[in-house]
Amino acid sequence: MNGGLAIDVRDMTKRFGALTAVDGIGLQVKTGEIHGFLGPNGSGKTTFIRMLCGLLRPDGGSGTCLGFDVVKDSESIKRQVGYMTQRFSFWEDLTVAENLEFTARIYAVPDRRTAVRATIERMGLAKRRDQLAGTLSGGWKQRLALAACMLHSPKLLLLDEPTAGVDPQARREFWEQIHELASGGITVLIATHYMDEAERCHRLAFVFHGHLLTHGTVDEVVRASGLLTWAVAGPDLPELMPKLRSEPGVEQAVAFGNELHVAGGDGNALEQVVAKYGSGPHRFRRIDASLEDVFIHLMQQAKAGASAAASAQ
């Protein structure tokens, strides 16, 4: 693989008629890394993942996935990738073991009975091996789907919003499994729009309307945004919030528990807001920008840029 990179692609593009779902995205993911692929619904995450694993042919771009050419070697890539879709896609009238045995046949896994038995033990499914998949809770369905992805010993896991609709305890257990797999050398690219999950990743990439807006570690992404955030406490915060939103330089003013978080990229303008409102009953204090603050900031910038470009045409 290219310098220890499991994924190394440039200018990946996919169009569906007049819609450009993925527009020139480049991404590098190190071997054994958990890389978060973030963005709101409709941002191009699923399309990009499907191009990586050979389910969609890109209209432009080049690069490698697991050392194979993403355009020419899609069949080779498929054999070494585990892809977990957004929705549970297994047979609900088969047991856990039967689903895994059938999946092992599809992948032509050698000695499939041994492979299924080992996977059931590894993924903690032994007590549920004879339970119908349709009767599993969301968390156990998720675990079954991940087990199926692991049957053929893939080198790369592509997980497309795998924890949607799963309770917090199951999500935590899922992430413990993902980190355990990564520590064994498996690379993970996980699409999500949950900010708490993004913070569990080694590095992040954020996409919006098919464009890559930023990438790096959480600290690098937050620092590069230049976003400044203040926490505001005091009386009548619901009445204060729209006033703050109307002030120059304030990009966000949102409720967080018993406080408001006020954020923007113009430090001088924000200082004027603090001076204006901080002399009364409200207390302002500087805090670190959250990942959620940063991504909303980036989306607003991207929307403003798109509007300006459209107006100029």
Residue pair 210/11 in contact (Cβ under 8 Å)? The answer is no
Instruction: Tell me the domain boundaries of the chain.
Output: 5-221, 226-312
Whether 170 has a pLDDT exceeding 90, the answer reads no
Q: 5-221 — its CATH code?
A: 3.40.50.300
Percent of the chain past pLDDT 70, that is, above it, reads 96
Q: For residues 59-75, give the mean pLDDT.
A: 94
Q: What is the pLDDT of residue 313?
A: 64
Q: SS3 of 17, please?
A: coil
Q: For residues 203-223, give the mean pLDDT.
A: 94
- Name the pairing type of β-strands 228-233 and 259-264: antiparallel
Domain 226-312 in the same topology as domain 5-221 = no
Whether 3 has a pLDDT exceeding 60, the answer reads no
> Given this structure, which CATH class describes domain 226-312?
alpha beta
Whether 262 has a pLDDT exceeding 80, the answer reads yes
pTM flag (> 0.85): yes
Residue pair 97/104 in contact (Cβ under 8 Å)? The answer is no
Q: What is the pLDDT of residue 179?
A: 94
To the nearest whole number, what is the mean pLDDT of the chain? Answer: 91
Q: SS3 of 37, please?
A: strand
11-51 pLDDT, tens digit per residue, is 999 999 999 999 999 999 999 999 999 988 889 999 999 99
CB-hemisphere CA count at 13 Å for 241? 12
180-196 pLDDT, tens digit per residue, is 999 999 999 999 888 88
| Confidence tier at 173 by pLDDT (50, 70, 90) | confident
User: Residue 280: CB partners within 8 Å, gap ≥ 6?
Assistant: 234
68-100 pLDDT, tens digit per residue, is 999 999 999 988 999 988 777 789 999 999 999
Q: Side by side, which strands form the sheet with 60-65?
A: 19-30, 5-16, 60-65, 68-69
- CA–CA distance, 9 with 167 (Å, rounded to integer): 34
